[in-house]
Amino acid sequence: MFRCNLGSSVKYLASLSALGRHHILQNSRCFLCRMSTSPNPVAAVCQVTATPDKEANFTGCKQLLEEARQRGACMVFLPEGFDYIGSSREETLSMSEPLGGDIISRYTQLARKLDVWLSLGGFHERGHDWENDRRIYNSHVIINNKGDILSVYRKSHLFDVELPEKGVSLKESAFTIPGPSLVPPVQTPIGKVGLGICYDLRFPELSLALQRHGADILTYPSAFTVATGAAHWEVLLRARAIETQCFVLAAAQVGRHHEKRSSYGHALAVDPWGEVVGDCGREKPGMVLVEVNLDKVSRTRKNMPVQQHRRDTAFYHSMSQTCL
């Protein structure tokens, strides 16, 4: 069902049940690897198939969260569009909610009940001037195990791409407001987590900025198209891990959401050396549990001190006109 890659400091521990499009297939769980007794914290990186049915999506995600907690995860990562993926601009906007609305409220209650931290990547949040402009933010919300919202990052790079030969045509800026800024990495039970969303993955300046501000882990909850995912998903995630010497955890959407859209899948975990240590595959929803050993971050940075070798910002904006 999934590829199982075992790394030296982050171990791919388990895969989870398949979820139906509008219901949960009970008792269809397949655990490839059993929980380790290591003292390192465990994170669950999830893969889902969201549809326009918000209630079915919540039910499926709730099942994943409960299973992850039972298997020992202290933080769970859900992908972009975990709340829903609409079939039209009008549907996407009509189903959006404010940050204090029902969906996020239900997840704060669930985090408190399960005693688990949540990364909710890509919530359709109504903009601050919703009544006038009817536009939304694509928001990454971090909730602690007490049910408190600790951080909200609003996606800053919007996916406006036309690839006719690949069958890709999306203009996120038609209904989404770009976020105003990055947010500082969040201290969590698994380490300091730097927040991005999907298309942000293509901009190394963002990942380097988060690393400079103390990130041990970068996370890119995503809904990559099938065409761009097949071409770029893994190589970009590995590049971000290698250049920052961070763990990279990337929850993903998978499969067919409705008649107009499908996603690539392959929710991944990558270690600071750039090794893929967990891969959910591209067939169906599920999760990988990864054991996060931050000693791997410090050892990698000590043995290859890339950031110490980096020149000052002015150097990278300079260009000699002299030809020798």
pLDDT-derived band at 32 (thresholds 50, 70, 90) equals very low
Q: For the chain, give the mean pLDDT.
A: 88
CA distances, 164 to each of 168, 200, 227 (Å)? 6, 22, 11
Residue 3: band (very low, low, confident or very high) from pLDDT cuts 50, 70, 90: very low
CA 20 to chain centre: 21
pLDDT tens sequence across 197-249:
999 999 999 999 999 999 999 999 999 999 999 999 999 999 999 999 999 99
Tokens of 142: 């971090």
**How many whole angstroms separate alpha carbon 69 and alpha carbon 291?**
14
pLDDT tens readout for residues 111-154: 999 999 999 999 999 999 999 999 999 999 999 999 999 999 99
pLDDT greater than 80 at residue 22: no
d(CA 133, CA 161): 23
Return the percentage of the chain with pLDDT > 90, whole number.
76
- Work out whether strand 117-126 and strand 75-78 pair parallel, antiparallel, or are unpaired: parallel
Angle between helix axes 54-70 and 102-114 (nearest 10 degrees) is: 20
**Separation of alpha carbons 16 and 247, rounded Å:** 22
Catalytic residues: 80, 155, 198
**Residue (of 209, 206, 271) closest to 245 by Cα position:** 271
- SS3 for 176-224 is ECCCCCCCCCEEECCEEEEECCHHHHHCHHHHHHHHHCCCCEEECCECC
Q: How far does Cα 226 stand from its chain's mean position?
A: 17
User: How far, in Å, CA of 64 to CA of 253, rounded?
Assistant: 14
CATH assignment, 42-303: 3.60.110.10
pLDDT at 80 over 70: yes
Strand partners, 263: 255
